[in-house]
Chains A and B, each alone.
Chain A
Amino acid sequence: MRKTFDLEDLDCANCAAKMELGIKKLDGVKDASVSFMTQKMTVEADDGVDFDALMKKVVKTVRKIEPDCRIIM
């Protein structure tokens, strides 16, 4: 399953790269992409993974790297 989210107040390109790396390392994430340009995040989960639970971890990762950045769900 893959979903795309809008991001708000993502204003550092390096942070976007760090977020992408951080999210990719999470268990259950097949692929992830954080685009600073389109201010969008795409998360692709492995099959059979609880997406909502995974998103909680994603939110936590994002907050750790850039606390001002919000994921619009």
Chain B
Amino acid sequence: MTRRQKKTLIRVIVSAALFAAAFAVTHFLPLPWWAELMLFLAPYLVVGYDVIFKAARNMIHGQVFDECFLMVIATAGAFAVKEYPEAAAVMLLYQVGELFQSVAVGRSRRSIAALMDIRPDHANVVRGGEEISVSPDEVAAGEEIVVRAGERVPLDGVILSGAASVDTAALTGESLPRDLGVGENVFSGSINVGSVFRMRTTGTYKESAVSKILELVERSAERKAKSENFITKFARYYTPAVVISALLLALIPPLLFNGEWEVWIHRALIFLVVSCPCALVISVPLSFFSGMGGASSKGILIKGASFIEALSRVGTVVFDKTGTLTKGSFGVSDIHTNGVSAAELLDVAAVAESYSNHPIAQSIVRAHGKHIDPSRISSLNELPGLGIKAVIDGREVAAGSERLMESLGISPVCGEGCSHDMRSSCVHVAVGNKYAGHILISDEVKSDAKEAVSVLKAAGIRTVMLTGDSARVGNEVGSSLGVDEIRSELLPEDKVAVTESMLGDDKKRTLAFVGDGINDAPVLTRADVGIAMGALGSDAAIEAADVVLTDDDPMKVSLAVRIAKKTMRIVRENIIFALAVKLAVLVLGALGIANMWIAVFADVGVAVIAILNAVRAMRVDRSDII
């Protein structure tokens, strides 16, 4: 509890005691009205003086429909119609409710914030042979730091010595610790669960994974969902509307229909008590916030409440095959030659591909393994989605897809022992306009990919797989995973066009695109919800995506949808619940059935219940149906 909350608590207790005393005294002793008024005014003022003060000040500032002001009018009105105990009790209950609400919100806010707080507080940097503890943002790139057991890794870096075992749960939601050896990358924000290790930083704190996540999470509150904006707008009209109806309720029956003034004023006061939209104004953003908090604890960073909304209505999930459904770590599985030796073919292909950062190209370079002399290349032209044309050692070399070969008028030849593995991609190589053979590259399907697709399908979501690979490879992988639709042989710009063409398919449901952030930023931006997988390393992907998965588990896609749906359900529950109770109390109050006590419950009680409900969005487990 904060100091202010403690102070309020003391005032509530004192006031409650005074109220009980006043109640007892007036019950047993017949007192004149002014003595009774005095007795009940004491607990009223003890607990409510700040409300009166605030109301007066806000009125000076021209904010008439302020919550405090309405409470003061309501209770003053109750005093005026000689309902002294009621007036004091309502103020007391109001303050109890406000206190409860403030504590509940504060607590849930902190526990959600704690889920997202991965900020390291210090770094042990080695300078001049000595180890000193400094703030992480004072450490430069390339410095050596020591991470002791139980400490949070403050900056991104490479392990220098010691066998590290790190818990990356705060980053990825993955609870199994990961063992890292010398030379391996370690992300800031992970916790050292093994023994002490030394590392060299590869960037500053500003560039670290932790900073990127924090920045993302902190800015997420700015992108408000439609339902959030609806509530703030609604709140702006709700209060004046209720106050005006209260006024009409107080005036019209007595003036036009001979009603008793006291009865109708009293009923109107009940309106004022329920006129505060607080339950809605607090609980809706809190629900979104706790949904995002719960998601981030699972390694799903959602960039704003609006994307929770969009994600909950997702109708189509488009996967980019490589890196999302498959591991994206390619290996050369076979080489089939035509008139040259295998080593020669690999050598010329590796030289041609040495400047490309395409994962397939890199796998060929890796398989080659030897030093590549760049001076052997005299010209090089990379054709996106097709391959590479280059002049190497004075010879024209082309390496790439079947389509590239077609465009050069070269037809691939199948030599002896050429058995095509259906799941492999094929890089055809031509040297001096003559077909020289092909290199088979295979990529493994992720172990969870099939389940990830089937979970989405079970939820009635259409799954589509896009790939730049040949139809043969695409169909084989796609049908083994069970995706609904397969589009293959797509160039990067085709992926944008295909995604765009699907966008308008269903007006009520949204389209999510899942990519690994390499070369697919335009599609990530274009989709209703762009999900970048395992993208902590890529700034472009983080920038373009709406949802960032910190690891590359495809199951996280359905988990994100599940969290979004649960959050939206809670948001709707809160809106309907709060409005229904308030409306019921308004009607009952107008009919003279509800009293002011019930009205106070409808105000603060409902707010507290809505807050507690909102916090449920934080907890998501596998049992939550999608």
Q: Is A17 at the interface (CB under 8 A from chain B)?
A: yes
With A37-B285, A37-B289 as contacts: A14 and B277 at CB distance below 8 Å: yes
Q: Is the CB of B4 within 8 A of A40?
A: no
Q: Which residues of A contact B (CB under 8 A)?
A: 4, 9, 11-14, 17-18, 33, 35-40, 42, 64-65, 67-68
9 other contacts beyond A35-B285, A37-B286, A42-B219, with CB at 8 A cut-off? A13-B281, A14-B276, A17-B281, A35-B221, A35-B222, A37-B112, A38-B218, A40-B221, A42-B222
Q: Is B106 at the interface (CB under 8 A from chain A)?
A: yes
Considering the chains assembled together, what is the distance between the CA atoms of A42 and B223 in angstroms?
12
Main secondary structure of the interface of A (DSSP, over half): mixed
User: Chain B interface: which size bin?
Assistant: 20 to 34
Give the shortest distance, in Å, between B543 (CB) and chain A (any CB): 16
Q: Is the CB of B102 within 8 A of A38?
A: no
Q: Is the CB of B4 within 8 A of A37?
A: no
Nearest chain-B residue to A11 (Cβ)?
B102
Contacts of A9 in B (CB 8 A): 2, 4
Q: Is the CB of B222 within 8 A of A13?
A: no
List 20 A–B pairs whose Cβ atoms lie within 8 Å, in order of A's numbering: A9-B4, A11-B102, A11-B105, A11-B106, A12-B67, A13-B105, A13-B282, A13-B285, A14-B276, A14-B277, A14-B278, A33-B222, A36-B285, A37-B109, A37-B112, A37-B221, A37-B285, A40-B218, A40-B221, A65-B61
Q: Is B235 at the interface (CB under 8 A from chain A)?
A: yes
Nearest chain-A residue to B277 (Cβ)?
A14
Considering the chains assembled together, what is the distance between the CA atoms of A35 and B228 in angstroms?
12
Q: Is B57 at the interface (CB under 8 A from chain A)?
A: yes
Number of A-B pairs, beta carbon distance below 8 Å: 52
Considering the chains assembled together, what is the distance between the CA atoms of A36 and B232 in angstroms?
13
Q: Is B113 at the interface (CB under 8 A from chain A)?
A: yes
Give the shortest distance, in Å, between A20 (CB) and chain B (any CB): 8
Contacts of A4 in B (CB 8 A): 218
Contacts of A17 in B (CB 8 A): 232, 235, 281
Contacts of B2 in A (CB 8 A): 9
Give the shortest distance, in Å, between A52 (CB) and chain B (any CB): 23
Give the shortest distance, in Å, between A33 (CB) and chain B (any CB): 4
Nearest chain-A residue to B284 (Cβ)?
A13
Contacts of A12 in B (CB 8 A): 67, 278
Contacts of A64 in B (CB 8 A): 61
Considering the chains assembled together, what is the distance between the CA atoms of A4 and B217 in angstroms?
13
Contacts of B61 in A (CB 8 A): 64-65
